[in-house]
Amino acid sequence: MKLNRYYGRLFELRQNGDYDDWVMVSAGDVMPLFNQMEDYFNAIEPLIIR
């Protein structure tokens, strides 16, 4: 499933941001995630509403 890779990448970035001493995230790392964000929100919204 495409969304599990997306969520995995978000989780990895979050973990690195929380626990690494220094984190540098480039626009090249982040911008592709924005393209998938709407699909992700549309997938989880029904779960939140329930």
Asked whether residue 48 carries a pLDDT value surpassing 90, the answer given is: yes
pLDDT at 6: 81
At 5-46, the pLDDT tens digits run 888 888 888 898 888 888 888 888 888 888 788 888 888 899
Q: Measured between alpha carbons, how far is residue 36 from residues 6, 19, 20, 22, 23 in Å?
A: 7, 25, 25, 26, 22
Q: Which of 23, 1, 46 is nearest to 36 (CA)?
A: 1
Q: How many structural domains comprise the chain? A: 1
| pLDDT for 45 | 93
Q: Give the C-alpha separation, 43 to 23, whole Å.
A: 29
The Cα–Cα gap between 6 and 12 comes to: 10
pLDDT at residue 1 is higher than 70: no
**How far apart are alpha carbons 50 and 42 in whole angstroms?**
14
Model confidence, pTM: 0.58
Note down the domain range covering 19: 2-49
What is the pLDDT at residue 47?
92
